[in-house]
Structure 1
Amino acid sequence: MSADNVEDQVARPGEATTTVEPFRWQLDPAALR
C-alpha cells in the first residue's frame, strides 16, 4: 500500500471501504464464508 492510497482512503471514506474490501477478504478468507 502506498501513501497516496492511504490519503485517498482518508479523503474518500466511501471509496475507502470498497478499496479495502478486497484486502480484507484476502487477509481473512474465513470472512467470505
Structure 2
Amino acid sequence: MEQERVRTHTNTKSNKRPSSPFPSRVQVKTIN
C-alpha cells in the first residue's frame, strides 16, 4: 500500500496535465 501511494504521488507530480482528471483526484487524496 505504501509503495502504491508513493507511485501515485510521483505519477501526479510527473503527470501534471489536465488531460486526465484522475491524477487531480489522486493529488487531492494525497494532500488530504
TM-score (norm 1): 0.38
Higher relative contact order (CA 8 A, sep 6+): 2
Which structure has more helix as a fraction of its residues?
Answer: 1
TM-score (norm 2): 0.38
